[in-house]
Structure 1
Amino acid sequence: MIVWAIWKERNKRIFKELAKTVELVINDIKASIEEVIYGRSRNVSKFKFNDWDMEMERNWSLKNALFHYPKNRINRKEVRWEKPQNNWVKLNFDGACRGNPGQAGFGAVIRNKEGNVVSGTYGYIGHATNNEAKIRALEVGLLLCKEIGLTNIQVEGDSQIIINGVTNDKLLNWKLSKWLLHIHSLLQAIKPYEITHILREGNKVADLLANLGVNSQVVEVTVIPMALSPEVTDLCRKDLWIRKTEGVG
C-alpha cells in the first residue's frame, strides 16, 4: 500500500506535472491504512481463518478489511471514440514522448460525421516533455483545420492539463504558455468549436500518429486518407466497427 502510494505520486509528478508535499503524501498513506484497518464487511462467516488470521483479525480487523463490499457499486462505461454531430468534424490530438523529457512527436487526425478521415498530421519535435508534445499536437491540428477551411470543430485530447489550460487560459507550467496565444488565435478562426477531454481509450488514432511522428524523426508530415498507414487505417475501421455493432439488434 505504501509502495503503491509512492508510485502514484511519482506518476503524477512525471505525467501531470503535479506534486504534493512529503507531509501530504504521508497523510494520504496513513488515511489509506486506517481505511483498511477499520473497514467493514458483510457475509464473511463462511470463510475459515487459521490462528494467525484470527489473531490479526482481533488486532487489526483484517477479516473485515479483506472482505469489504461497497454498498454502492460504480457502473463503469467503456470509453471509445464517438462520431461528431451532424455538420461538425472532430479533431483528436496527442503527443508521444520516449522519456520525459525525451524524443517527442505529435499527431492529430480530423474525421467527419461518418467517421472517415478528412486529414491528419504527425511529426517529430526533438527533445521535449510529454506536455510540450501534446500542446504542439493541438496547435498543429488546429492549424491544419484552418488551412483546410474547416469550422464547426469538436476538439478532443487526453491531457487534462492541456484542455484545462486552453479553456481557462492558464497553464500550470509556464513553459507551455508560449503556445496559448497562437492556439487561441486559431480557435477564433475556426469558430464555432468545442474542446473537451477524452480518456486515452478514445484517442487511440491520435496516439498512434504521435508515435509515428517520433519514429519518423521528420518535422511535420501531413497525411490524407489515401496515404494513411495500415495501422492507422485499421484503428479507424475499428472505431467505426464498434459503433456499427452497437446498433445491431
Structure 2
Amino acid sequence: MLLFYHSPSSYQSYITSIVYMGFDTAGSSFAFADSKAWLREVLKENSPLVMSTLWWVWRLRNVWCMEGKLIPWQVLRGDILAMFDDIARCYAVDVDAPMHTPRLVRWTVGLADCVVLNVDGSVHGTPQRGGFGGCFRTIHGNWLRGFFGYLDECCILHLELLGMFHGLSLAWEQGYRIVECQSDSQDAVTLVKSTPSSCHRYAALVWDIKDLQSRDWIVELRHTLREGNACADLLVKHGADQNDDLVITENPIAGLGVLLLADARGVSFVRP
C-alpha cells in the first residue's frame, strides 16, 4: 500500500478496502509500521502473490492519476489472483513447498570391521583419455594401498566397471575378506546388482565382477555420492595422465594426503 502514500485523503477509505481484500486472513502482513519489516515478512510468506499485488496496485494508481477512474477492489482482487496463478503455472512455484536445504555429504562406512574400497572411472583432458582407479582404507580412514590405470576408451561406464573389477581382484589377492566397495556410478552399481543381458556391451566384464563377488568372502557393493569419493577420483585423474595399464601404489600420490585426512576426520561437503 506504500504506492498510495501521497494520495489525497479522499482515497483513504478506498485504500483501506484494498488492504483487507483477503490476501492475508490473519491481517498480520499489514500490521507493520516499518515498511522494510513489512516487505521482508510478506516476501517470506508468499513472494509470487506479493509481486502480483504490487504490480496491480501500481497499475491502479496510474489509472486513477491519468484517467481519474476507480477500479472496484473486487476486480482488482481478481486480476491479482489471476496473475498469481499465471506465475505459479509458468514457473512451477509451489508456495506450500518447504525451502530446499542443502545436504552435507562425507565419506562414510556402512559395514563394520571391513576394508573400504572406493573405486571410480572417468574421462579427462583434450583429447580425451580414460582412467580408472581406487583405494583401500580401514573403517577409520587409514590408508592401505591404491591403484590406477589408463585405457584408451571414452565410455565412462566401462571405466567405472574396470575400476570395480581391478579393485575387487586386488582386494582378494591382498587377503581382505570383508570389503565394502563404494562407487559413485549408480549405473555401474545397478548393472552389477542385476542380471545383464548376454547382448550387453559389457556383459563379460559384469559377470567377471559377479564371479569375484561369489567367492568365499563378504563384499558389499554400495553407491556413494561423488563428494564422498574424492580420493578415488584423484587416482582416476592420475591414471588418465599416464600410460600404464595398471599401477598398484603402496603410498598415497601427491595431493591425496589432504583428501584422506578430510575423510578420516569426517569433513562434510555441501551438496545443493
**TM-score relative to the length of structure 1:** 0.69
Alignment of 1:46-195 (within 5 A): 46-47=50-51, 48-49=54-55, 58=82, 61-64=85-88, 68-73=94-99, 76-83=102-109, 85-98=111-124, 102-170=128-196, 174-189=200-215, 191-195=217-221
Question: Which stretch shows the higher mean deviation, 55-64 or 207-216?
Answer: 55-64
Q: Tell me the SS of whatever aligns to 1:189.
A: coil
Note the C-alpha offset of 1:198.
0.9
Matching residue's letter, 2:175: G
Could you say if the C-alpha distance between residues 64 and 118 of structure 1 is closer, same or farther in structure 2, counting changes exceeding 3 Å? Answer: same
CA distance in 2: counterparts of 1:186 and 1:232, whole angstroms: 28
Are residue 236 (structure 1) and residue 267 (structure 2) matched?
no
AA of the residue aligned to 1:96? S
CA separation in 2, counterparts of 1:165 and 1:187? Answer: 14
**What CA distance in whole angstroms lies between the structure 2 residues aligned with 1:84 and 1:115?**
13
Conservation of the 8 A alpha-carbon contact between 2:46 and 2:95 = yes
User: 3-state SS of the aligned residue for 2:108?
Assistant: coil
| Aligned mates of 1:120, 1:161 — CA distance in 2 | 23
Kindly report structure 1 stretches of 4+ aligned residues shifted beyond 6 Å. 54-57
Displacement, 1:221?
A: 0.9
- Structure 2 CA distance for partners of 1:138 and 1:236, relative to 1, 3 Å: same
Superposed CA offset, 1:134-187 (max 9, x none): 000000000110110101111110111111111112279811112022111211
Q: What amino acid does structure 2 have at the position aligned with 1:203?
A: N
2:252 maps to amino acid: L
TM-score after normalising by structure 2 = 0.64
* Residues 122 and 159 in structure 2, CA contact (< 8 A), matched pair in contact too: yes
SS at match of 2:266: helix
- SS for the counterpart of 1:196 is strand
How far did residue 62 of structure 1 move?
3.5
**1:190, distance to aligned residue in structure 2 (A):** 5.6
Task: Give the C-alpha shift of residue 101 in structure 1.
Answer: 10
CA contact (8 A) 1:90 1:156 kept: yes
Kept in 1, the 8 Å contact 2:106–2:267? The answer is no
Greater C-alpha Rg: 2
Any unmatched runs of 5+ in structure 1? 1-40, 245-249
